[in-house]
Amino acid sequence: MYIKIKIDNDKCKNPGKCMKCVQVCQAKVFLIKPIIEKKSAYAKGIEIKAVFKDLCNGGMECVEICPEQCISVEF
């Protein structure tokens, strides 16, 4: 089964403080990653990424818990 997970990082206001999707996901699909600009050695912030999409069990807890409705999952 192919699952497509999208995160709208423009809507995700404070990923480092919220982290609800990271915490609720039993499959551990999400990671917090630094946002690095190409010409800088420093991170300009952090974002949530669905790195391990193949582990997703389709539980949809991440979609339900997200207070900003940033996450969408398609089967």
Report pLDDT digits (tens) over 10-60.
999 999 999 999 999 999 999 999 998 888 888 899 999 999 999 999 999
Using CA atoms, how far apart are residues 70 and 75, in angstroms rounded to an integer? 17
Using CA atoms, how far apart are residues 63 and 35, in angstroms rounded to an integer? 23
Q: Which amino acid is at 75?
A: F
Sketch out the chain's domains with CATH numbers: 4-74 (3.30.70.20)
In degrees, to the nearest 5, what angle opens at C-alpha 58 toward C-alphas 56 and 64? Answer: 110
Predicted structure pTM score: 0.86
| Rg, Å, the chain Cα set | 13
